[in-house]
Amino acid sequence: MPYKLGTMLDISNKVQDESRQGEAYAPLTEQIRQFDKKFYIESYGCQMNFSDSEIIASILENQGFGATRNMEEADLIFLNTCSIREKAEQTVRKRLSEFKHLKRSNPSLLIGMLGCMAERLKTKLLEEERLVDIVVGPDAYRSLPDLIGQADEGQKAVNVLLSREETYADIAPVRLNSNGITAFVSIMRGCNNMCSFCVVPFTRGRERSRDAFSIIAECADLVANGYKEVTLLGQNVDSYYWRNPETEEDVTFARLLEMVASISPQLRVRFSTSHPKDITDDVLHTMAAHENICRYIHLPVQSGSTRVLQLMNRTYTREWYLAKVKRIREIMPDCGISSDIIAGFCTETEDDHRDTLDVMEQSAYDFSYMFMYSERPGTLAAKRYADDIPAEIKKRRLEEIVSMQNRLSLESNKKDIGITCKVLIEGNSKKSAQHWMGRNSQNKVVVFPKEGDFKPGDYVLVKVNDCTQGTLLGTLI
């Protein structure tokens, strides 16, 4: 199986980020510790799922299961699944069917479906997919050892209970496929927003924030192990809130950012995702005050039409969103901004669509993740509105959105020609082993020829002298 180093979210504009979908992976410890039994795991969907797979690996290692990148030798195969769009579920089902021959040659092999699709479909998954032995939702991973035991005895095993408290705060993730430089740290779970198109509140349950001390401890441990960058993860990080039971101190997201940034000036701090309604001036000022909090905000707009935003239940207007972008640029003129955009939501007119293109242009996004609307069963939109935009119109609008973003990305990169930026080297460039690839504070990929005695994990200054739509090209100074 391919073993990808340092594949985080790809900066190039894609309709979906597919760079890590279905990546099979295992930690480096595989070579050191010997385990009696082996599990194989593939992750689909968002960074939360990839981060959860690291918690799952930790729970399984404690039970004597070691990760393997070779599914042929696995006793357990897990798919950590995503339900966000219909296509995400189809991808998983197709993958599952490819395991049929393994089960035939190894009848004791167990196959488990984890994550959002498991939560959405519950026991229905067992009826629909005969290959599946175990179904576990995102809040039930602690019960995996028991469920594996049940499945070993020939019973189908299911736990899809959602929790109001579970944050896995005390579980030290086993870093899978890590480049040893960048890591994800979950700071909260679930989502209390009810965006009408979105299945996440149903698959991940109520929002809850993780104990701030456990977050700091995890980040400090990463620093002690040589990591240089953490990305704090949540569906809506700006609504992070934790109260210290001893001191009764309130920890907001701004305070948490400050605490993480203070661990070491050598540690870069990133976060994702921000909801435009919740990101505060406090957060922006905290970012501005710390050089090591990256100048980059992922601020999904979804649509540029106030009417559509209202149907989406996003709770802001187009003007309110644009004012937020302006505020970010006032406080941090050099801040990178990216977005998520949905084409062809229910009732969307050509005027609404043009409003989206216009907001994109006014916000001058550095890049975006762009999708066609996909109706999800059980969501507010599925219940209330007809999915009435024909597929070919959705497709055409998406293409227009993508070409607008391509133009904006190229313009944004061209503006950087001539600047010098601080880059954290992540590894070889995809195209050439004679070049390093890293990111600047704005999350842009920077590629430059190898010179001198630098290695992944080093910070270097690079002068940008050329660009493509997805990459800045430069030389070391």
Cβ neighbours for 385, distance < 8 A, ≥ 6 positions apart: 196, 311, 346, 347
Any contact of residue 11 with ligand F3S (CB under 6 A)? no
Any contact of residue 332 with ligand SF4 (CB under 6 A)? no
Site string for ligand F3S, 394-423 (x = CB under 6 A): ------------------------------
Residue whose CB is less far from ligand SAH, 65 or 197: 197
As measured in angstroms, the least distance from the Cβ of 468 to ligand F3S is: 28
d(C-alpha 361, C-alpha 355), whole Å:
10
Q: Which of 158, 195, 328, 424 binds ligand SF4 (CB under 6 A)?
A: 195
Q: Which of 204, 210, 298, 444 binds ligand F3S (CB under 6 A)?
A: 204
Any contact of residue 185 with ligand F3S (CB under 6 A)? no
Any contact of residue 340 with ligand SAH (CB under 6 A)? yes
Any contact of residue 371 with ligand SAH (CB under 6 A)? yes
Whole-Å CA distances, 406 to 122, 398, 416, 455, 468: 40, 12, 16, 32, 10
Q: Which of 300, 336, 438, 456 binds ligand SAH (CB under 6 A)?
A: 300
Residue whose CB is less far from ligand F3S, 190 or 457: 190
Residue matched to tokens 């700071």: 187
Residue matched to tokens 């996909």: 374
Any contact of residue 116 with ligand F3S (CB under 6 A)? yes
Q: Which of 13, 53, 83, 209 binds ligand F3S (CB under 6 A)?
A: 83
Q: Which of 67, 84, 118, 346 binds ligand F3S (CB under 6 A)?
A: 84
Residue whose CB is less far from ligand SF4, 27 or 201: 201
Q: Which of 175, 318, 376, 394 binds ligand SAH (CB under 6 A)?
A: 376
Of ligand SF4, ligand F3S, ligand SAH, none, which one sits near residue 201, judging by CB under 5 to 8 A according to partner kind?
ligand SF4
Any contact of residue 236 with ligand SF4 (CB under 6 A)? yes
As measured in angstroms, the least distance from the Cβ of 184 to ligand SF4 is: 16
Any contact of residue 198 with ligand SF4 (CB under 6 A)? yes
Of ligand F3S, ligand SAH, ligand SF4, none, which one sits near residue 45, judging by CB under 5 to 8 A according to partner kind?
ligand F3S
- Characterize the bridge pairing of strands 420-428 and 459-467: antiparallel
| Binding segment (CB under 6 A) for ligand SF4, from list 194-202, 239-247, 358-366, 464-472 | 194-202
Q: Which of 85, 275, 298, 394 binds ligand SF4 (CB under 6 A)?
A: 275
Residue whose CB is less far from ligand SAH, 48 or 437: 48
Of ligand SF4, ligand SAH, ligand F3S, none, which one sits near residue 228, judging by CB under 5 to 8 A according to partner kind?
none
Q: Which of 53, 203, 231, 338 binds ligand F3S (CB under 6 A)?
A: 203
Any contact of residue 49 with ligand F3S (CB under 6 A)? yes
353 touches 318 (CB < 8 A): no
Any contact of residue 191 with ligand SF4 (CB under 6 A)? yes
Residue 107 burial (C-beta neighbours within 10 Å; 0-12, 13-18, 19+): exposed
User: Which positions lie near ligand SAH, rule CB under 6 A?
Assistant: 84-85, 197-198, 200, 235-236, 273, 275, 300, 302, 340, 342, 371, 373-374, 376
User: Can you give the binding site for ligand SF4, defined by CB under 6 A?
Assistant: 191, 193, 195, 198, 200-201, 235-236, 275
